[in-house]
């Protein structure tokens, strides 16, 4: 159960930490920090777009089976 919990929440926790870093970098930094903030905030958007346009095939198989 513990391993399943880590497997499920690993990516959302990493993405939320990246978002928090990006927001703090944008609020508190200047110059180079703005570029880091943009990069940190774009990564979650790329992940979302990738999942929307190319869904996981295992999800499709499970839906078809049920």
**Look-up: residue for tokens 């943009």?**
38
Q: Is the pTM of this model over 0.75?
A: no
Q: Supply the DSSP string of 16-62, one letter for each residue.
A: HHHHHHHHHHHHH--THHHHHHHHHHHHHHHHHHHHHHS--HHHHHH
- pLDDT tens sequence across 21-65: 999 999 999 999 999 999 999 999 999 898 888 877 565 555 555
The predicted structure's pLDDT at residue 33 = 94
Nearest to residue 44, comparing CAs of 66, 22, 24? 22
Domain limits, the chain:
2-65
């Amino acid at each position: 159960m513990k391993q399943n919990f880590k497997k499920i929440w690993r990516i959302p926790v990493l993405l939320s930490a990246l978002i928090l870093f990006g927001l703090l970098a944008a609020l508190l930094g200047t110059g180079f920090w703005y570029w880091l903030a943009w990069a940190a905030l774009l990564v979650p958007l790329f992940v979302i777009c990738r999942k929307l346009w190319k869904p996981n095939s295992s999800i499709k198989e499970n839906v078809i089976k049920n």
